[in-house]
Structure 1
Amino acid sequence: MTLANFKILPDDALLSQSYRDELRNWVMIPSTRKFPLAADTRYEISPEALKDVYAFSKEKLQSYPKQKEYLLTYWLNYAATAIPTLETSQLLLADYKSAFPQSPYSEYISKLIRTKETLQPGAIIPEVTLLNKDSVSVALSQLKGKPVCIVFSFSIGQHEPGLKAMEEKYKDKATFVYISVTPDLPLHMWKKYAVDRPGTKHLWASDENIELLKEKYAIDIRYPFLVADANGKIINRWIAQEFPNNKSLDAALQKAGE
């Protein structure tokens, strides 16, 4: 099956992963042509294209209710997780609730949006207590005093090689806190790799605390960085990975130090 000869099949075709992938790609074509991405964007789909593809999916799949619900749920989730701003997800959620009033997914997205509302610039970083490499409890509120860059690491050592130059640039000016959010990673195993350096701290989250970080920080592998000022106020929660240099992270750290 290719996009050149794609045809909408009966709803049972949703059982096929390849069909779901092709269905999404097919409905995206008109919207991404109308709203092409800028060269420096970090989104796969822009907010404008996302609203357009949501409406297009709703229109084209009126006769295929399961596929329509699948796609609208997919685009709503994308808006809530991949787009840092709130306007797109709030707009799509209002329509989604109207279209699927019984869907349990609405509450999940509503909760995620409420969390994102608490993570806007100027808000105090949410309190969570984790363990350091000496098994001592550390509350995130204890990180005040210097600007801080919180790094959510989804695998051992993730991001650290790429941030060494940034650590050196902001040595004595900011603290880099690497929080392990790798599920099922035992504390004793993590300790072998958690080596603090000047200006850095390593913290470990249990599976229970990973769930708490999801609730309070909306952790997502696409946006692993948060920068706060010396008073614990958020400068930017939604900083993505950028290569080879992370200009957004650098700008947030500069602003945190002002």
Structure 2
Amino acid sequence: MSTAAEPPIDPNRPSTARIADAFLGGTHNFASDRAVAARAIELLPDTPAIARANRAFLRRAVRYAAGRGIRQFLDLGAGIPSVCNVHEVAREVAPDARVVYADIDPTAVLYARHQVDGDPAAAAVRADLLRPAALLDEPEVRDLLDLNQPIAVLLSNVLHFLPDGPALDTALAGYREAAAPGSILAISHVTPSDHAELTERFTALYNRTETPLTPRRTGEVERLFTGWRLVEPGLVYCPEWRPDPDDEPVSDPARFVTLGGVGER
């Protein structure tokens, strides 16, 4: 575990990780988070369903990676643990899977550490994903992940909280260059493509918090996969990405306003 002092948790400042927890019906959130979540649901009533669809995409992407033989997973901007976490899903396919959760939010890291306490093949670190060299040099990361072997880099529901610019481009390049051939990158990302008005209202709400939202159109999200080859079915709305056979058909995937895709090196 990192020895640096952890910042205090401020219950009066909404946190994207805790807001997401509220969307999923979790209990690791405060009144300030629930207020933002409630307002978001007023603006976009499908928000809880969107959050669940995003988690379901992550589960399917993890199973895909494990099925391809990947045994190590780096979950960046992991958020607060929920049901069917990455280490649990991966081990349904590969019991020897190793997982590191990384987040800059102290609440997310606190609960993630509690979730993996006593698990020698999983860890949680507080780190800034925009600093890949420092993150990958964390002792827990070096102990658990062998970057000479393929890895799954997971960026689910996080990149739309980061603005365009050199910092993001450099960070994505850093993870790409660190990943061995055969590695996988999974991204889910809010998009305004087919519901621009709703997304604009949702964005305006988040822009009043300390973590503004940056929705990106399909072509912009595809560019986040630079250096990776998108696997079928490409970049699609989350419910459309390799749905499970027992998933209910979705008549209007665009209403989920979140794209998902997986790239391979």
TM-score by length of 1: 0.29
RCO higher in 1 or 2 (8 Å CA, sep ≥ 6)? 2
TM-score, structure 2 normalization = 0.28
